[in-house]
Amino acid sequence: MYPIFLNVKNKLCVVVGGGKVAERKIKKLIQEKAEIIVISKSTTQRIKNLEQKGKIKKIVNSEFTKNMIPEGTFLVFECTGDKDVATQIKQECEEKRIFLNSATYPEISDFFVPSSIKRWGLHISISTEGKSSAFSRAIREKIERELPKELSEKLKIIAKIREKLIKTEGKKNKLQDKFLLEISRYAVENPKISEKTFLKYIEKKSKKYFIGINSKIFRASG
């Protein structure tokens, strides 16, 4: 399996099924600002409420039949639990060259939806390649408990510095890569230090890499 993060913002994603599993897929797609169509003869009240709020583009109240997946669909999520329907959806996705995720039948899936942790720009995903969603969830919960919340704040500082470095020196280069890696390793090893202490460390390390560069760019994260 090749790990990848997909940008689904404003892209059409079709969810076939209207139960609790479909709800979970829809929730994540909404978080990533996808355009969503749901195909299902019946849906949970929560899914109906999401359509009423404009979070879902459309609910097609019907059992799945051939040619119900619109042209231009980016991804399809099969959440029916019915193998015959899942097989039919798979055939149509292959014909239209659309990637499919089947919640119940991983053997027909083109991709798997990992269990994930997302804090600001930090996004960690865990997958068992469809073998056990419960196992990947258990690992996610363990990592989530042990992952310091302060890491996101350190990432924000490093992201700002990276942006300022590129503006100051032009495109990113190997020297910048070494510097950013060194301060990133320090942040990961010392997540709970204060912003003031972290910025002092960054300024100190900057002298090793950027003699002659205005040190003000390392003094503030804003």
Give the model confidence (pLDDT) of 159-168 as tens digits.
988 888 888 7
Q: Give the length of the chain.
A: 222
pTM of the model: 0.79
Burial class (CB in 10 A: 0-12, 13-18, 19+), 161: buried
Give the model confidence (pLDDT) of 10-56 as tens digits.
999 999 999 999 999 999 999 999 999 999 999 999 999 999 999 99
- Is pLDDT of 62 > 50? yes
